[in-house]
Chains A and B, each alone.
Chain A
C-alpha cells in the first residue's frame, strides 16, 4: 500500500507540472486575444537577448576536431588525478595492496597515453 501511495504523489506532481506548463502557454494567449495585454513592441523588447551580447557571425562555428583529442587526453589525466587524491589520503590503510593497485591503474593509463602519442594525436597538423 505504502508503495502505491508514494507513486500517487509522483502522479500528482506530474499532473500539476503538466497543468502549470500548459497554463503558461494558454493564459497569455487568451489574455492577448481578449485585448487585456497591451501590445507595445520596441526594438529592445523584441530582441533575442534582452540582456547579454548580440551574436557575432554564424552560430554554426566549426571547431577543429583536434580540440577533441586534447579534450580526451585531458580527461585521461584528469581522471588519474581524481583517483590519486583519495588514494593518497588513504595510502597508509591500503598498504602494499593499494600501491600495486595504483601502479596497475597508472600503467594502463600510460598505455593509453603512449597509444595517443604513437598515433599522432599530440601533433597539430
Chain B
C-alpha cells in the first residue's frame, strides 16, 4: 500500500483551518478574525498546491487519489474562488447574530470536497468527495432563517439526494459490468471488451447515462436544472456565487476525468456520450437563455444564465467525446472556459452583493439608474455581463472562441451554430441590466457603500476578466499543461 499523506497536504491544511475556525468561533468574541483565519488557511493550501506545480503526477491511497497537473489546476481554482467568496461575504456574514464560524467552516469544508473531487480517480472516492462538497452546500443554501432560504436548502437537499442516488446507481452498473471502481482499470476493461460485446451489455450504457444524470445535476444542465432558480434565489448571495462557480467547476472536473479516463478509450463509446453531451448542451443553452429573458430577479436571471453557460461548456465536452485520444483542444477549452467563467460570474455576483446590500432587493428594476449612484460597481457589473455574453475585450470572448473552435475541429459545426445563435439571444437579457443601470432614473441619489474586502475581491475578479481577455496566452498555456498529463 502506498500511503503518502503529503500529497494531500493542501486538503489537510484547508480541513485543519476549518476546524480551527470552528474552535476559535467558540472562544472568540471578535468574529472578524474568522475570515482572516479562513483566508490564511486557503493561502497555506494554495502555497502547498503551487509547490507541487510541475512535478510528475503521483498517486496515493492505492491510487484512489491522483495528484497531477489537472488536479492541481482545479485545486488552485477552487481555493481562489473560495478566497474571493470569503472576502465578498465578510460584510454579509458580520450581520449574522449567530453561526458566523460555521459559515466560514462550511465554505472551507465544501472547498475540501471540491478539491478532492478534482483529484479522485476512483468511483467510491468520487462519490464521497462529492457528498462532502454537497452536504456542506446544502447547509449553506439554507443558512439564512428566512422562508426562501429554508426552501432553497430543503429543495437542494432533497433533489441533491435523489441525484446522488442516481449517480450511485450508475456507478453500480458500471462496476457490475467492468468489475472495477478505478477509472483507469474501467477504461482498460472496456477496451478489452471489444465493440460487439459493448453493444451486448446495455447495463454499461445505462450506467453511463445514469452517471451523466447524476453529474448533470451538479453542473445544472437541462433537464436536471429544476432546482437552480429557486436555490439561487433563496440562498445567501455569496453562497449562490459559490454554487454557480465552484460547484459547477467541480462537476465538470469530475466529468472530464471520469469520461475521458474511463469511457474515452473506446472511440465507439466516446462518440456516443459526446453526442449525449451535445444534445444536452443544446437543450441547456436554449432553455437557459430563453427562460432568462423573462426573469425580473437578477439572481434568478443569473441562475438561468448559469444553465446556459453549462450548455456552452458541454459543447466542449461533446468535442472531447469526438476528439481522438491525445487531442487537447477540447479539454483545455473547457478548463479555460471554467476559469474565465469563474472570474466573470464571481465579479457579477460580488457587484450584486454590494448593490443588494444597499437597496435590499434583487429585482432588476431596482437597479434603475445605478450607474449614477455607484459608477464603479455598475461599470464592474456591466463588464462582467459583457464577458458573459462573450464580447471582446473580456475573458468570456476568448473562452467562447476557444471552446467553439475545438468543436469545429471535430465536425460539430451544427452545434457551434446553435451555440452562437444562443449567445445572440443571451445578449438581450444581459444588456437589459446594463440598459436599466445606465439609462434608467435612479430611485434616490444615495451612494452604495462597500467594504474594502469586497472591493478587493471585485477588483481581483475584474483584473481576471480583463487579463484573461486581453492576454489569454498565459492561462491557455496553463490550461494546456493541465490537460497534457490527464490520463
Q: Is the CB of B19 within 8 A of A118?
A: no
**Residue on A with the closest CB to B99?**
A119
Q: Which residues of A contact B27 (CB under 8 A)?
A: 118
* Main SS at interface, chain B: helix
| Chain A stretch 98-125: residues in CB contact (< 8 A) with chain B | 108, 111, 114-115, 118-119
Question: In angstroms, how far is the closest chain A Cβ from the Cβ of B262?
Answer: 20
Closest 9 pairs between A and B when the two form their complex, measured CB to CB: A118-B26, A111-B19, A111-B23, A115-B22, A115-B26, A114-B26, A111-B22, A114-B23, A108-B19
Q: Which residues of A contact B203 (CB under 8 A)?
A: 3
**Residue on A with the closest CB to B26?**
A118
Which residues on B are within 8 Å of A, measured CB to CB? 19, 22-23, 26-27, 201, 203
14 contacts between A and B (CB under 8 A): A3-B201, A3-B203, A108-B19, A111-B19, A111-B22, A111-B23, A114-B23, A114-B26, A115-B22, A115-B23, A115-B26, A118-B26, A118-B27, A119-B26
Task: Compute the total of residue contacts between A and B using a CB distance below 8 Å.
Answer: 14
Q: Which residues of B contact A3 (CB under 8 A)?
A: 201, 203
Assembled-state Cα–Cα distance A61/B289 (Å): 50
Given A111-B19, A114-B23, A118-B27, 11 extra CB contacts under 8 A: A3-B201, A3-B203, A108-B19, A111-B22, A111-B23, A114-B26, A115-B22, A115-B23, A115-B26, A118-B26, A119-B26
Please indicate which of the listed interface residues B26, B201, B203 has the most CB atoms of chain A within 10 Å of its own CB: B26
Q: Which residues of B contact A114 (CB under 8 A)?
A: 23, 26
Assembled-state Cα–Cα distance A114/B203 (Å): 48
Assembled-state Cα–Cα distance A108/B105 (Å): 14
Q: Which residues of B contact A115 (CB under 8 A)?
A: 22-23, 26
Assembled-state Cα–Cα distance A111/B25 (Å): 12
Assembled-state Cα–Cα distance A111/B22 (Å): 9
Assembled-state Cα–Cα distance A18/B26 (Å): 56
Q: Which residues of B contact A119 (CB under 8 A)?
A: 26
Q: Which residues of A contact B19 (CB under 8 A)?
A: 108, 111
